[in-house]
Amino acid sequence: MNAIVAFVGMTGSGKSTAAECLIERKWTYIRFGQVTIDSLKEKGLDINEQNERTMRESLRKTYGMGAFATLSLPAIKDSIESNNVVIDGLYSWSEYNILRENFGERLFVIAVYASPATRYKRLESRFTDSTDTAHKMRPLTPHDARQRDYSEIENIEKGGPIAMADYTVVNEKSSSELRDQIAEIVTGITGS
């Protein structure tokens, strides 16, 4: 039976790097944050932290706190029938509950943790190139990153899925160490 692994963590913790480990294993990739980027593009708006925050809040106002899970459910349901699925960026407690209700024991949540100092340093040194059409690796200043942290903690229930994760990995060192931790967990989940 195919599994779903959803990564949760604060911005810059290493969720996308962790997801890459499963993409390399040919898992189907679904990024909740892509809903925001696609919505901004549809409206012809610039992709920046302020517009993203406004769009995220607008989508949640329209679809509820589980907006990104709700909007991604058709793709997840379609994909899980033929492949394992990796979700990059589970955000809210409501999203967690929607996924748990729909997929039960097939869902495994992995929290990726890095300290604020580590995350802010990573975010500040990110660079965007022309191949990053999904805007996954956009840099943030420490000020913008801190504001995003507070917004996600205070406004979108982000602590719940982190607290209830099935596994937690600490990502304070190298990406190869993170990849090793993810590989060990996924091998335990899938047997391969």
pLDDT tens per residue, range 98-119: 999 999 999 999 999 999 999 9
One-letter amino acid for residue 35 of the chain: V
Considering the entire predicted model, what is its pTM?
0.88
Q: Which residues contact 174 (CB under 8 A, 6 or more apart)?
A: none
Q: What is the mean pLDDT of residues 12-21?
A: 94
pLDDT band at residue 131 under the 50/70/90 scheme:
low
pLDDT band at residue 37 under the 50/70/90 scheme:
very high
pLDDT band at residue 136 under the 50/70/90 scheme:
low
pLDDT band at residue 138 under the 50/70/90 scheme:
confident
Cβ atoms of 31 and 89 within 8 Å: the answer is yes
Q: How far apart are the first and last CA of the chain?
A: 13
Distance CA 32, CA 155 (A): 17
Distance CA 164, CA 63 (A): 23
pLDDT band at residue 189 under the 50/70/90 scheme:
very high
Distance CA 147, CA 105 (A): 34
Cβ atoms of 152 and 91 within 8 Å: the answer is yes
pLDDT band at residue 164 under the 50/70/90 scheme:
very high
Tell me how crowded residue 144 is: count the other CB atoms within 10 A of its CB: 19
pLDDT band at residue 120 under the 50/70/90 scheme:
very high
Q: What is the pLDDT of residue 22?
A: 97
Q: What is the mean pLDDT of residues 86-99?
A: 94
CATH no., domain 4-190:
3.40.50.300
Instruction: Provide, rounded to the nearest whole percent, the portion of the chain with pLDDT above 70.
Output: 94
pLDDT over threshold 90, residue 169:
yes
pLDDT over threshold 60, residue 155:
yes
